[in-house]
Amino acid sequence: MLLTLFGFIVSGGAGAFFYFLPVIQTAFSATGHNDLPAATQPPAGSSPRAAPGSNDPFTVLLLGSDNDAKFSSTSLLTQSMILVRVIPATKQVTMLSIPRDLYVPINGGGTAKIDTAFAYGGARNAIATVQNAFHVHVDHYVWIGLKGLTALIDAVGGVDVVTGNPVLDDFYPADLSGGNPYDYQRVAVLPAAQHLDGIHALEYVRSRHGDLREDFGRSERQQQVLVALRAKTKTLSATNLPDIAAALGNQLTTDMGIGQVADLLPIAGGIPSESIKHVLLLPPYTSGAQVGDQDVVMPNWSLILPLVAQTFPA
Amino acid sequence: MSRRPLIVGPLLVLMAGFGLGVYHVLGTFKTDTTQPAANPTESTPVFTLPGVLYLSQHGVIYKLQGQKFTAITDNRGWMQPALLPDGTILAVRRDAEYSDLFHLDANGHVIQQLTNDKGKAIDENHWVFYPKASPVGSSVFYAFDQPKFGYRVDMAIWSSTLDSAAVTPRAGNGSLAKQWTSPDQYTGGDIEPIPLADGGLIYVGYGVTPKEHINATILLASAPLRQSKPLTNIEDDCSWPALSPDGRTLAMVCTHGSQVASLEVAAFDGKALGPPRTVVSSDLVSAPVWAPDGSGLAYLAPAATGGHFQLWWLAGAASAAVAPASTPSPASRAATPSPVASASPSPAATAVGGLAAPQQVTRNLDFDATSAPAWTAG
């Protein structure tokens, strides 16, 4: 009798194990990457870095890359860089979008657009560059690829977003369909409060050619979709996790361990949308310029650094 | 002979079945909002609306009459149905990189293709959206992506007589199409025309706010390419204008620069709006349409956070509108009453202004919230 009962328990446990297996696999492959630069690692004997779940404020650098066939997997640019400061005690979040064309000293040498920092040395180099340029301390990072973002949004069943003005672009990259990655396609995301699947959410956050504010408009849209994604994750249950994990595959990496990610989710879910502050480095914080044959965004550090220091500690 | 194999064998099968059952049962506990939407023809509305509504889901236009949905088109990208006075339908068929206007009969059969926007090169394609017939049905108004050159793709409002040769608004000599508006550059342009009985036009134009956001303004034009008069403030970011059948109340959706889209109404005297009043203080309202008798508004909104958009009904919305003052343009905001508790758990169902709570009409569907329903008495 006991043996029979044991058999059913083992069988049920095996069913549950295989159901959650994608979560376990992704937890091992995506989390715990030790990519933080030495300056971010705590010195011996000092208190550890701020960790999600500890109720201490912490700063996360979100990185998003075009990882399509145009780019080698070892030299990806970051199309999106968002510094996020989370203060669990007061349930406040600040999201600061860093223009991808911001012309800054790159860690390791030279001055270039900040999106190249990742290409020259991965997350470690991107974090070091941001820390040095903005005089901030980054506790953690999360990197996601294009396909990862679309798959993640589809895995959660889509997101609800108030898309602003019509996003019309005749030169949107047609690089996810498997053809020539240098081809273009037309997109039109019409304005409305609406439900977006992964592909259409990506069109909304990635298009920039038809926008008066170019990369700044795109940054604003990226923040909108991130907030919508956060709202959607609040509605999910643990049984949704295998779909999400399977969707992400190798499209997401973070230095946080699985325990820290688990601790972070209720914090993210508990922060009301109205407590999320959005910061864009529009003029006069930045200005357009030409360096060689490149269009770049020049930082006005005398304005940026005091602004950043208000929220992001060094 | 031992009976043990006869018992152990079935037990092992049962155990394996139990394990598989646990695997599958866990999958049934996924959140509803991650599940695919139902097909409207396999769905029954929970609340019956009078008349006939046309709505778009996944590229199909459906007719809702009583308790029954009927697909009236194939699934080739149909959206934005609009009614002509004779009960026939204008609609958009959207392809991957262009869209065209069609004139359909009430059962969805094509009477005439009105535009041919497919180009030979990628930037020779065009978008046409938001068709609306003039009150007498002799002409059609729409948003068309001309002017367009280089990276600039902005829509302007155009009009034509209801004839395919005239509607295709190729710019230049010989075009019978008439351009009504000049959009602000690189904003996405002007959309959502409502032709008026006096020959004027209400539409939505996008422009840049002092804080460098791109917001919507509802505007009034008296004639083609004349200076338009703003009916709302740009900071209020109001769009989706819907004029009541008697022409005296304008419904609209305003975000006030946030990720909240509320349903508001204002009296309209043909020249200006009265103070806007919020009638659904919701998180995400889209695409309002008046009942044919003006007794209320239908609109689209999700029933749960992050969910698909469903059809909702709000009775008596026009009664909340306040007449315009002598010179209120653009409308200043009225004191908005505090929201009252909702009878529904839905985030989309909080009515204010003393109105009854909105009622959810459909469940588990996935209406295209960029495509306003069309509603006729039938």
Q: What pLDDT, in 10s, does the model give residues A207-240?
A: 988 888 888 999 999 999 999 998 888 888 778 7
Q: How far is CA B70 from CA A2, B39, B57, B333, B366, in A?
A: 57, 10, 12, 41, 15
Q: Measure the CA–CA gap between B164 and A305, rounded to whole angstroms.
A: 59
- Which tokens hold the place of B3? 């009976």
Q: Which amino acid is at A122?
A: G
- Per-residue confidence band for B344, with pLDDT thresholds at 50, 70 and 90: very low
Do β-strands B99-104 and B110-113 pair in parallel, antiparallel, or remain unpaired? antiparallel
Q: Do B365 and B303 contact (CB within 8 A), yes or no?
A: no
Q: What is the mean pLDDT of residues B320-333?
A: 63
The distance of Cα A173 from the centroid of its chain, to the nearest Å, equals: 20
Mean pLDDT confidence for A252-268: 79
Find which of B217, B239, B259, B308 to mutate to test the A interface (most A CBs within 10 Å of its CB).
B259
| Helix (H) / strand (E) containing A241 | helix A241-248
B377 to chain A nearest CA, in Å?
26
Residue B230, number of CB atoms within 10 A of its CB:
18
- If one counts every other C-beta atom within 10 angstroms of the C-beta of residue A258, the result is 16
Instruction: Output the pLDDT for position A71.
Output: 67
Nearest to B153 among A10, A169, A220 (CB): A169
- What is the percent of chain B where pLDDT is above 90? 69
Q: Do A211 and B19 touch (CB under 8 A)?
A: no
Strand boundaries in B11-123, DSSP class E: 52-57, 60-65, 68-71, 78-83, 89-94, 99-104, 110-113
Which residues, other chains included, contact B214 with Cβ-Cβ below 8 Å and sequence gap of 6+? A164, A165, A211, A212, A213, A217, B187, B188, B206, B207, B208
In the predicted structure, residue B172 carries a pLDDT above the cut 60: no
pLDDT digits (tens, 9 = 90+) for A119-153: 998 999 999 999 999 999 999 999 998 888 999 99
Element (H, E) at A29: helix A2-30
How sure is the predictor about B104, in pLDDT bands with cuts at 50, 70 and 90?
very high
Q: Which pair of tokens denotes residue B228?
A: 């338009």
Contact criterion met (CB below 8 Å) for A193 and B367: no
CA–CA gap between residue B355 and residue A99 (Å, rounded): 46
Pair of tokens at residue B315: 């009775």
Distance from CA of B198 to the nearest CA of A (A): 28
**At A261, is the pLDDT very low, low, confident or very high (cuts 50, 70, 90)?**
confident
Whole-number Cα distances in Å, B317 to A310, B196, B341, B344: 45, 21, 17, 18
Of residues B200 and B349, more confidently modeled: B200
Q: What is the ipTM of this complex?
A: 0.89
Provide the percentage of residues in chain A whose pLDDT is more than 70.
90
- Mean pLDDT score across all residues of chain A: 86
Residues 192-221 of A with CB under 8 A from B: 192-195, 209-213, 216-217, 220
> Phi, psi (5° rounding) for residue A276?
-100, 120
Select, from the ranges A20-34, B97-111, B140-154, the one with the highest average predicted confidence (pLDDT).
B97-111
More confident: B312 or B334: B312
Question: Which of B151, B155, B301 has its CB closest to that of A166?
Answer: B155
Convert the pLDDT of each residue in A157-202 to its tens digit: 999 999 999 999 999 988 877 778 788 899 999 999 999 999 999 9
Long-range contacts of A117-123 (CB under 8 A, 24+ apart): A117/A78, A118/A63, A118/A65, A118/A76, A118/A77, A118/A78, A118/A143, A119/A75, A119/A76, A119/A77, A122/A35, A123/A33, A123/A35, A123/A36, A123/A63, A123/A253, A123/A255
Residues of B in contact with A234 (CB under 8 A): 305
pLDDT confidence of residue B162: 86
B15 or B102: whose pLDDT is higher?
B102
Short-list B235, B350, B187, CA closest to A191? B187
> Which residues are within 8 A (CB) of A69 and not within 5 positions of it... i.e. 6 or more apart?
A175, A181
Handedness of CA A14, A15, A18, A20 (dihedral sign): negative
Q: Is B29 left (phi over 0), alpha (psi -120 to 50) or beta?
A: alpha
Pick the residue from chain B with its C-alpha nearest to A219: B213
In whole angstroms, what is the distance from residue B123 CA to residue A186 CA?
8
8 Å CB contact of B189 and A213 = no
- Report the alpha-carbon distance of residue B160 to residue B142 in Å, rounded: 9
Q: What whole-number distance in Å separates Cα of residue A312 and Cα of residue A264?
A: 19
Distance CA B347, CA B352 (A): 13
Q: Cβ distance A198 to A238 under 8 Å?
A: no
DSSP state of B334: P
User: Strand, coil or helix: what is B65?
Assistant: strand
- Give the model's pLDDT for residue A72: 67
Q: Measured between alpha carbons, how far is B143 from B190 in angstroms, rounded to an integer?
A: 7
Instruction: Give the whole-angstrom CA distance, residue A60 versus residue A138.
Output: 6
pLDDT band at B350 (very low <50, low <70, confident <90, very high): low
Asked if B91 and B84 touch (Cβ cutoff 8 Å), the reply is no
Helix axes A215-233, A258-269, angle to 10 degrees: 90
Whole-structure pTM value: 0.87
What does the pLDDT look like over B281-302, one tens digit per residue? 867 999 999 999 999 999 999 9
Q: Which of A38-47, B275-284, B349-358 has the highest mean pLDDT?
A: B275-284
- The pair phi, psi for residue B353, each rounded to 5°, is 80, 25
Query: So what's the pLDDT on residue B35?
Result: 79
Residue B230: the pLDDT is 98
* pLDDT reading at A266 higher than 60: yes
A11 neighbourhood in chain B, CB within 8 Å: 15-16, 18-19, 22
Preceding amide of B5 cis, omega within 30: no
Q: What is the pLDDT of residue A52?
A: 61
Residues A87-96, mean pLDDT to the nearest whole number: 91
Question: What are the backbone angles phi and psi of residue B255, rounded to the nearest 5°?
Answer: -105, -20
User: Which A positions 131-190 lie with beta carbon below 8 A of chain B?
Assistant: 155-162, 164-171, 184-186, 188, 190
pLDDT in the model for residue B352: 66
Structure tokens, A83: 């510094």
Q: Long-range CB contacts (< 8 A, 24+ apart) of B259-262?
A: B259/A161, B259/A162, B259/A224, B259/A227, B259/A228, B259/A273, B259/B283, B260/A162, B260/B284, B261/A162, B261/A193, B261/B285, B261/B286
